[in-house]
């Protein structure tokens, strides 16, 4: 029976699910017999724990690794750099500093995603495990900056000031440090607090599950609700709402692809690619639409609504 906080089903059925790298290391040291099938050979093992479908490590049987997602992440990096530059140029726009920080954090997740899911590094290696833990930290911090942008947009505190930036940056750092530490403890078992799963095959960690699965979803929902309130309730505008709706739809589609179509694409391509590249493209597109929404509501009335 699967309980809350178990990653066993996700790691078995979802190709390229990055947090499985943490549990591979854990199993390798505490219950190596649980690693079977493709996961038994560390030199060629794909991302996952005994996955139903997985892309072998680069060089194994001619594998190019998760090449499709590698390309998607690479292109997304260039796109995000452009968004950061465009955002920086709009010096008078409300929430510019906070939105730029969100874009920077999302940009940082991309190379770590590329490395943690690209099937470059050997499963169970210290390098792959540490990279995955930092990736988890950046993901949790990124979704805080998303929610933080929603809070700032209400002007409960004035954007760009110390009263806004100090708590904004504090919680960004707190989410990053806490999640990275928990992820490292799950993998390396520094302590028994976040250490080995019991039983090992359950791949159990409630804190890691909350921070990497529940928290991002909650942050997206709260951000969406805040922005709808701001646009409709404060600005009394309708058109920008559709940008936020489109961004939400793109994000939902990315998650549906990742958890429902990922394995279908993996099997259909004979384990050459999986659906993670589609999820990456859709997530990056959602971020791009968010920029258009922000640009739309900060062009005219928004700048004048709150005197600086």
250: pLDDT strictly greater than 80: yes
Q: What is the pLDDT of residue 299?
A: 63
Q: What is the pLDDT of residue 148?
A: 96
- Residue 293 in tokens: 């929404």
Domain membership of residue 179 (yes or no) is yes
CA distances from residue 85 to 97, 234, 267, 289 in whole angstroms, order as listed: 12, 28, 39, 16
308: pLDDT strictly greater than 50: no
Domain membership of residue 3 (yes or no) is no
23: pLDDT strictly greater than 70: yes
Domain membership of residue 55 (yes or no) is no
Domain membership of residue 1 (yes or no) is no
Boundaries of domain holding 255: 8-50+66-305
Whole-angstrom distance, CA of residue 200 vs CA of residue 187? 12
- Give the chain's domain count: 1
For the chain, give the mean pLDDT: 93
Confidence of residue 1 (pLDDT cuts 50, 70, 90): low
Whole-angstrom distance, CA of residue 113 vs CA of residue 126? 16
Whole-angstrom distance, CA of residue 116 vs CA of residue 108? 13
Q: What is the pLDDT of residue 184?
A: 97
Q: What's the rounded mean pLDDT across residues 81-105?
A: 94
Q: What's the rounded mean pLDDT across residues 86-94?
A: 89
300: pLDDT strictly greater than 80: no
181: pLDDT strictly greater than 90: yes
Domain membership of residue 86 (yes or no) is yes
Q: Give the largest Cα separation in the chain, rounded.
A: 65
109: pLDDT strictly greater than 90: yes
Please write the tens of the pLDDT for every residue from 125-179.
999 999 999 999 999 999 999 999 999 999 888 888 898 999 999 999 999 999 9
> What's the CATH code of the domain at 209?
1.20.1070.10
Q: What is the pLDDT of residue 43?
A: 94
Whole-angstrom distance, CA of residue 308 vs CA of residue 303? 9
Domain membership of residue 56 (yes or no) is no
Is the bond preceding 14 in cis, omega lying within 30 degrees of 0? no
Domain membership of residue 24 (yes or no) is yes
Domain membership of residue 60 (yes or no) is no
Q: What is the pLDDT of residue 106?
A: 98
8 Å CB contact between 98 and 164? yes
Please write the tens of the pLDDT for every residue from 206-242.
999 999 999 999 999 999 999 999 999 998 988 899 9
Cα four-point dihedral sign 120, 270, 51, 265: positive
């Amino acid at each position: 029976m699967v309980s809350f906080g178990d990653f066993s089903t996700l790691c078995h059925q979802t190709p390229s699910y990055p947090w499985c790298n943490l549990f591979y290391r854990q199993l390798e040291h505490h219950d190596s017999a649980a690693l079977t099938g493709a996961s038994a050979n560390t030199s060629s093992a794909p991302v996952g724990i005994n996955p139903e479908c997985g892309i072998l490590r680069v060089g194994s049987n001619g594998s190019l690794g998760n090449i499709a997602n590698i390309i998607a992440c690479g292109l997304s990096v260039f796109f995000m750099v452009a968004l950061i530059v465009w955002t920086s140029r709009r010096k008078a726009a409300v929430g510019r500093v906070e939105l730029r920080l969100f874009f920077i954090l999302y940009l940082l997740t991309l190379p770590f995603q590329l490395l943690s899911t690209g099937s470059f590094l050997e499963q169970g290696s210290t390098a792959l495990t540490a990279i995955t833990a930092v990736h988890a930290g950046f993901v949790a911090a990124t979704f805080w900056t998303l929610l933080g942008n929603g809070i700032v947009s209400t002007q409960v505190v004035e954007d760009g000031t110390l009263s806004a930036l100090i708590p904004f940056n504090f919680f960004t750092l707190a989410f990053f440090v806490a999640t990275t530490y928990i992820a490292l403890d799950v993998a390396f078992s520094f302590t028994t607090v976040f250490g080995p799963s019991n039983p090992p095959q359950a791949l159990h960690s409630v804190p890691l599950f909350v921070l990497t699965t529940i928290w991002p979803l909650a942050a997206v929902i709260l951000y969406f609700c805040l922005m709808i309130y701001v646009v409709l309730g404060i600005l009394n505008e309708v058109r920008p709402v559709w940008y936020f709706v489109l961004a939400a739809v793109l994000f939902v589609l990315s998650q549906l692809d990742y958890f429902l179509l990922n394995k279908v694409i993996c099997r259909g391509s004979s384990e050459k690619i999986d659906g993670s590249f589609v999820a990456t493209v859709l997530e990056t597109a959602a971020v791009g639409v968010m920029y258009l929404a922000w640009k739309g509501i900060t062009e005219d009335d928004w700048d004048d609504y709150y005197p600086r």
